[in-house]
Amino acid sequence: MGKLAEAVETIERARGHLYAFHQMTGYADEMLDEVVGGLREMGRDDLADRITTELIGLNVVAGRWSFQVVEEYDDGYYRTTLDLDRAVRDALVGGRRHLMEAEMKEQRRTRGRPGHAARPHERD
């Protein structure tokens, strides 16, 4: 279960990086408008036209903008990962998550000490 949890957490991190890629790509595409404006002010319509027609709005992979890559990842690989993670947890440990961390917390906390309660609703 520990290795599965670690794999799922790594996939969550990968998903975060994918969203960062999506946001950064979109932001860069918007910044190109300023580049085009600057080139036009310099009288370099030839370069401005190339950026406008060749780069702005260009697909990041065949037929897809970054949001479409994110959606396909979410709907395919990511959703399958979460579904199988839940199925394995339900079958083996009653759906509980973060088992290693829960065990570690029990071993490391000081019972009766402020800030060391086992659960949020319990007193220290």
How far, in Å, CA of 77 to CA of 73, rounded? 5
Residue range 25-79, pLDDT digits in tens: 999 999 999 999 999 999 999 999 999 999 999 999 999 999 999 999 999 999 9
**Residue-range domain boundaries for the chain:** 2-93, 97-124
Please say whether the beta carbons of 66 and 22 come within 8 A: yes
Sign of the Cα torsion 25, 31, 35, 37 reads positive
Average pLDDT, integer, range 103-109 = 91
Structure tokens at 98: 């973060």
Residue range 68-101, pLDDT digits in tens: 999 999 999 999 999 999 999 999 999 999 988 8
How far, in Å, CA of 96 to CA of 102, rounded? 10
The secondary structure of the chain in percent helix, strand, coil, rounded to multiples of 5, reads: 70, 0, 25
pLDDT above 70 covers a percentage of the chain that reads 99
Please say whether the beta carbons of 28 and 36 come within 8 A: no
pTM of the model: 0.81
Reported as a pLDDT band with limits 50, 70 and 90, residue 121 is confident
64 DSSP β-pair partners:
61
